Amino acid sequence: MASSSLSKTSEETFEYICTACANDDLIKEALKYCVECQQYCCKDCLTSHRRISSLQGHSFLDNSSVKSQGQPRTLPAFPTKQCSKHVGKILDMYCENHDVVCCYACAAEDHKSCKDIVSVSDNIDRLYNMTDTTKATSELNDTIDTMTQLQTDTDTRLHQLQESKVTAIKAVSDFRIEMEKFLKKLKEVSIKEIEEEYKKLEAEILEERKRYEDFIDDLKTLKQLFSQASRNIAQQFVCSKLSENKCTSIRYQQNRESLNFAEVKFTPSDDLKSSIEKMVHLGEASAISSKTYNVYKATKICDMMVGMKEDKFPDNWTLGSCIVDDTVIFTDYLHNKLKRFDISSSSLVDSCEVPEGPRGICTVGYKEVAVACNHKVQFVSVHDKLTLMRCIKMDHWCYGLAHSNNKLYITDEYMSLYLHDMSGNLLKTVTNSDDDGRQPLFKSSNHITVNDKSGRVFVGDSKKGLVCFNAQCDYIETITDPDVRPNGVCVDGYGNVIIANSRINTIVQCGRDGQKHSIIVNKNIEAPQCVCVHYDLRKMFVGYESSNTVEVYNLTWKQARLDIA
């Protein structure tokens, strides 16, 4: 047996070598593989693992469990990520039915009814695809960039919040100064009123004083006459009578006057005082939260050719569309076909014929869609190939089609909305307004979509607007904005409602409640019939009547803010 430790210059090799020792220019035979460290370990490194507490919980594989694939010094193709639900379990299983990786415990608990569960290590050559890895890495990088931008936006919002606090505090001080100016003005008015009242009383007192002064002058004049008439008894008699009459007149007038105490008094306003005493602050302090939503900017990137060589007519009538994984499926009304395209390459994957008049289309389960075909709903498998499955006959026309919670929502392009179970049993018919029971809700009930984010059902009516219901088809409201006159409607992964206006030739983004946010396409577009969005890939597809192409748009977005007190 070869030595278990060699220098790098030795020609002796082992099937597996210790990764850590190789970094120190030593070649030692590896006995096991550490899943957590993703390294081969020799006997000594295994001993270190057992001695160091932070390494004691690591999992080891025997060399016989590891496929070297002829590359002894490379890491084995064995998963190392532990399950977040089951401690110590490795995500080494893959459920092909649900396209998820899981551990043995998850497989036993959550996927026991699934038929296609395989070991990742045993099937890695079949499962691994470099294109998928590159795509996943690119998507991961894009998501990191998006989250980084959102983090930056959060920092900006925090800075704005701090600035708003400073502004609010300054507003309090400014308001106090404003109130002080107001009180100063009230003070000046009150002082002026006091001055006016004072002048009135002052004038009365001065007038009274002048009268007393005149009395004194008259009395002094009589007194002087008395003195001058000391030797004239006749004159003294006259002066005596004049004096008696004058004094009597003065006393009589004095008795008639009420000598009131004069003062100017200020009485504070009880209303103002009471109002101020009741106040606990100078004004309301309120928090404004910011509801954010994605505002799209749509940039056209290409025209996807949807015509096929075997098509009988030169044009297609693309009246419906939906997303399944990374493909988009269109209904070709004119040729009674479904056509599925790969989104990345814009190439045709496959097609199939369906009963006449295919219009609306929606997903109804894992790799299964339903198509509205005149008086039928046709179910189609979308696994490797488009394959017709069961078909349900209806007693009414079928145009728009949506699915949620094992219910089918169907419009007839006229005046009605129908709710069916998955067996086709009619559960409810809606035609009239719930307000008066007479007014029709629709004039042209076109495409329909269900928004699971808000629990609303939206029916596009190109003449009336966007008609909103709850999941039980109870009428809520009609959005009558002139820009919201939809034929095609869909919901993206965030809950935004995207509508195609065939009457005014625009694509409009609405919120989860159906209220308009922005017009995202309004140039070089004519009578769009359907629209669908792949939210993860940020692609939008717009279909038309009498056209051999579907327009493809790139969607970029920024956060907009709607202030809510």
Give the pLDDT of residue 438: 67
Res 387: pLDDT: 94
Average pLDDT of the chain to the nearest whole number: 85
Please give the structure tokens belonging to residue 233.
């008894």
Of 389, 373, 411, residue with least CA distance to 489: 411
Torsion of Cα atoms, 294 then 300 then 304 then 305, to 10°: 150
* pTM of the complete model beyond 0.85: no
Q: How far is 267 from 303, CA to CA, in rounded Å?
A: 83
Which residues, other chains included, contact 29 with Cβ-Cβ below 8 Å and sequence gap of 6+?
2, 4, 14, 16, 17, 18, 42
DSSP secondary structure, 55-100, as one string: GTT--EEEGGGS--TT-TTSPPS---PBPSSSTT-B--EEETTTTE
pLDDT at 235: 84
Tell me the backbone φ, ψ of residue 187, rounded to 5 degrees. Answer: -60, -45
Nearest Cα to Cα of residue 172 among 274, 286, 289, 285? 285
Q: Do domains 1-78 and 291-564 have the same CATH topology?
A: no
Mean pLDDT of 369-378: 95
Q: How far apart are CA 457 and CA 451, in angstroms?
A: 6
Q: Extract the tokens encoding 434.
A: 């719930």
- Residue the block writes with tokens 């097609």: 351
Task: Identify which of 167-171, 425-429, 544-548 has the greatest average pLDDT.
Answer: 425-429
Give pLDDT, residue 564.
43
Hey, where are the domains in the chain?
Answer: 1-78, 149-278, 291-564
Least confident of 174-188, 262-276, 509-523, 537-551: 262-276
CATH of domain 1-78: 4.10.640
3-state helix, strand, coil in the chain (%, to 5): 30, 35, 35
Alpha helices in 231-306 (DSSP H): 233-256, 270-278
Q: Which residues pair with 323 in a beta bridge?
A: 328
Q: Give the chain's length.
A: 565
Q: Residues with Cβ < 8 Å from 58, sequence gap 6 or more?
A: 34, 35, 36, 37, 49
What single-letter amino acid sits at 205? I
Task: Give mean pLDDT, residues 498-526.
Answer: 90
Domain 291-564: which CATH number of 2.120.10.30, 1.20.120.140, 2.130.10.10, 1.20.140.10: 2.120.10.30
* Two tokens, residue 44: 């000594």
Candidates 32, 105, 37, 39; CA nearest to 65 is: 32
pLDDT at 478 over 90: yes
Among 39, 40, 37, 61, residue whose Cα is nearest residue 29: 40
Q: Which token pair is 415? A: 């005046």
Residue type, 96: E
Q: What is the mean pLDDT of residues 228-240?
A: 83
Query: Does the pLDDT value for residue 253 go beyond 90?
Result: no
Residue 533, CB half-sphere, CA atoms under 13 Å: how many? Answer: 26
Which segment of 155-169, 195-209, 287-301, 472-486 scores lowest on mean pLDDT?
287-301
Q: Of residues 466 and 137, which shows the higher confidence score?
A: 466
One-letter amino acid for residue 103 of the chain: C
Work out the burial of residue 128: count CB atoms within 10 Å of its CB; fewer than 13 is exposed, 13-18 middle, 19 or more buried: exposed
Angle ∠(272,276,282) on CA atoms, nearest 5: 130
| pLDDT given for residue 294 in this prediction | 65
Handedness of CA 342, 333, 554, 461 (dihedral sign): negative
The mean pLDDT value for 168-195 works out to 90
Strand ranges for 355-444 from DSSP E: 358-365, 368-382, 386-398, 401-404, 407-411, 417-421, 426-430
Whether 377 shows a pLDDT value over 80: the answer reads: yes
